[in-house]
Structure 1
């Protein structure tokens, strides 16, 4: 990779890692579903007038918007509103890396690798530790309903990945290539109304109107960051790198997202985890590494090293 592209990839990772802290800051004074709805309205305008509609059927755009927008972010935002720490949320959301291959195996019959199953089992152990040791005696308390809701978010994220994959395959069958940024922008039409409907079921209309009329600067910053920086800029750069380089070189960099998420939450929000929670987080990261890293590269390096040594000894 070129140095400029490496810098851009690392910058996107930092942006996405800080995303969880920004959500937490935005929820300080804004109901979760209203903040999620604002995020998509900002993502939608004015991008929809600039970015061309993807050449796929509307059903895929609608399904993608419902899963990633309504499913994933309603669960994540509300979980964080009722007590899920930004630091642990940044870790738990990454288990989509395990759920996506499993759903791909079930839905589109994609081959499931042994390392993906192993990584999923290891990550499950880490999640169990975090959930078990999040009692009132720990530094960071996690309500059970917040923890369970956060677990639902990566499932919807994984489901949206499958929908995007099917849509991409359909586009390729027609001789086209699916532009993921275009899909993200046009799918942003779907979430705002359902999210506002959920917001009205959780809050009174007066509360929502009063919140919008008295938005704090930090809430406005949060909504702008989530819409323009994390979504449009982040996905735009990331998808460009995915097209430019082999996925195997780019995808593992996303493993740094939880690291930046933990550090940002620690610095900005002063979130502190118990020793057992840190152990759980570490175990999940090990599972992520096992699932995403191509260990075949290391085998090739070792084999090459042995050949060189043998040639020198001869």
Structure 2
């Protein structure tokens, strides 16, 4: 990977990491469901030029839009708003990677290597350790919401195999179209005081849903889609593991989050597990053979 593409990967990590700050601040300001609806409203305005039919793929596309737009994002922002700290939420969202591997094995018949089985167990153990951190333990509902969000994303990831060449911006456009009215309806049902919330909001308060839409969806996903067109998934995906680390740092800087040793240990275990799942088994075998050969030469 050349230096320009590496810097783009760093930018994607930065905007995704800071999205947790915007999400937590926005969910507190507007309420989680209303914030998510505003986020997708802004995204829809930007993505309108890409809102075109996808012949032959409309039904699976609409199902993915519901899972990601309504399910995943609403649960993630509810989790952010539920309390605890940003680090635990940002790290737990990474469970979508092992969840995806499990679902691919069940529904697509993909084989899970021994390394990936161990990796999935490591990632899940890491989240369990995070849950025993005193700060997180008092807000376990946040972890369960975020685990649900990760599972929703994993299901949507498997379903997106049906239209691999749709294009990230067209997908974002349809997600925004489906999510905006759906989330607004859910907000009207489960949340209250919308008039007061919107009336008391200043123009500058709308930076949070605007950033989440433009920064995370347009810039972040756009960069990753660009990189995936030039490098393999096993190269790009591990680079994105910096995002939850940056989110943890931002949580300390902007929300004075407390990072205990259990959260650090659990976070490291989870990210190691996700890394092991992300890299193709054949690459691990190749690296292992190279390491053995190098060790033999050194003797």
Q: Matches of residues 24-63 of structure 1 in structure 2 within 5 Å?
A: 24-50=24-50, 52-63=52-63
Matched with 1:83 is 83
Matched with 1:257 is 243
- On the 8 A contact 1:123/1:287 being kept in 2, the answer is yes
2:187 equivalent among 195, 199, 214:
199
When residues 198 and 264 of structure 1 are mapped into structure 2, their CA distance, relative to the original with a 3 A threshold, is: same
Whole-Å separation in 1 of the counterparts to 2:265 and 2:145? 22
Whole-Å separation in 2 of the counterparts to 1:166 and 1:44? 23
Shift of 1:92: 0.1
Matched with 2:147 is 151
Shift of 1:224: 0.9
Matched with 1:184 is 172
When residues 40 and 121 of structure 1 are mapped into structure 2, their CA distance, relative to the original with a 3 A threshold, is: same
- On the 8 A contact 1:122/1:284 being kept in 2, the answer is yes
- On the 8 A contact 2:84/2:135 being kept in 1, the answer is no
- Per-residue Cα deviation, 1:75-133 (whole angstroms, up to 9, x for no partner): 11112222142211100000111000111111222222222221111122122222233
1:284 equivalent among 256, 259, 270:
270
Contiguous gaps of at least 5 residues in structure 2: none
User: Any idea what SS the aligned residue of 1:273 has?
Assistant: coil
Structure 1 consecutive aligned stretches of length 4 or more whose deviation exceeds 6 Å: none
Q: Matches of residues 157-306 of structure 1 in structure 2 within 5 Å?
A: 157-168=153-164, 177-204=165-192, 207-217=193-203, 219-293=205-279, 294-302=283-291, 305=294
- On the 8 A contact 2:89/2:142 being kept in 1, the answer is no
Whole-Å separation in 2 of the counterparts to 1:155 and 1:217? 34
When residues 200 and 52 of structure 1 are mapped into structure 2, their CA distance, relative to the original with a 3 A threshold, is: closer
Whole-Å separation in 1 of the counterparts to 2:20 and 2:204? 14
Give the TM-score normalised by structure 2. 0.91
Whole-Å separation in 1 of the counterparts to 2:209 and 2:292? 50
- On the 8 A contact 1:140/1:273 being kept in 2, the answer is no
- Per-residue Cα deviation, 1:37-96 (whole angstroms, up to 9, x for no partner): 111111111322256544542112211111111111111111222214221110000011
User: Cα RMSD between the aligned structures?
Assistant: 2.1
- On the 8 A contact 2:88/2:143 being kept in 1, the answer is no
Query: Looking at CA atoms only, which structure, 1 or 2, has the larger radius of gyration?
Result: 1
When residues 306 and 114 of structure 1 are mapped into structure 2, their CA distance, relative to the original with a 3 A threshold, is: closer
Shift of 1:218: 5.2
Matched with 2:130 is 130
Contiguous gaps of at least 5 residues in structure 1: 169-176
Whole-Å separation in 2 of the counterparts to 1:299 and 1:261? 32
Which protein is richer in helix relative to its size?
Answer: 2
